[in-house]
Amino acid sequence: MIKKKKTRKTNKYPVCSKCKQILGSQGSVEVICGPMFSGKSSLLISRAREAFYAKQKVVAFTQKKDDRRGDDSINTFNKDQFIAVSVSNSKQILKNIPEGTSLVIIDEGNFFNMDLADVVNKIAEKGIRVIVAGLDRNFRGEGFGPMPRIKLEADKVTQLLARCAICGNEASRTQRLKIVKGKKIPARYSDPIVLVGEEEYEPRCRFHHEVPGKPKIKIKQKK
């Protein structure tokens, strides 16, 4: 009788010698940011579908505050959709991640509370890949919510640009236009970040971005 040699079971995928995790599955944070109409949500959905087709478990989240294009889904201006869980704050994300999840995607990160940065890092530390999409600047051209910190601490940043609605050059800013008596006027610096009322948004380049009342940059020169 011929005895069969015992073979050691080897992992199908290479394992990191330091973290002991399968290479390609370790936690990481990616940020997709840019002005409105730069394709952030479209790219986020594309990333999610890539993982889904690779038979990875994907869970998506969006902010309840942003209901412009429907609830419980990530939506694009081109009417593309990806099913998502609507949450009111970032800590609810941790409670809604199923076991075995490989990828967590979060849309409109700018609308979440500041705790989102800690939540994202905590998810990544569990070995889960995280992708956050959102506006990195508000209508004033300043950092928007938790996005600047998440962007700073991310492993990868994909910075998108749109096209300026005035000149057609690359646009990195979002112009808010208030509609007053049928006329479109630029929102003032003193206006609230989240505006309730009639307004429109369009991408603008640095030179055509208008924010009346914004403090001017002053550089003190040494004597």
108 is catalytic: yes
CA 56 to centroid of chain Cα atoms: 20
Work out the number of other CB atoms within 10 angstroms of the CB of residue 208: 16
Q: List the catalytic residue out of 30, 99, 108, 210.
A: 108
d(CA 7, CA 66): 55
By C-alpha distance, which of 74, 93, 94 is closest to 82? 74
Q: Please give the backbone phi and psi of residue 157, each rounded to the nearest 5 degrees, phi first.
A: -125, 125
Q: How far apart are CA 103 and CA 27, in angstroms?
A: 9
E-assigned strand segments in 102-172: 103-106, 129-134, 156-159, 162-163, 170-171
* Active centre residues (catalytic): 108
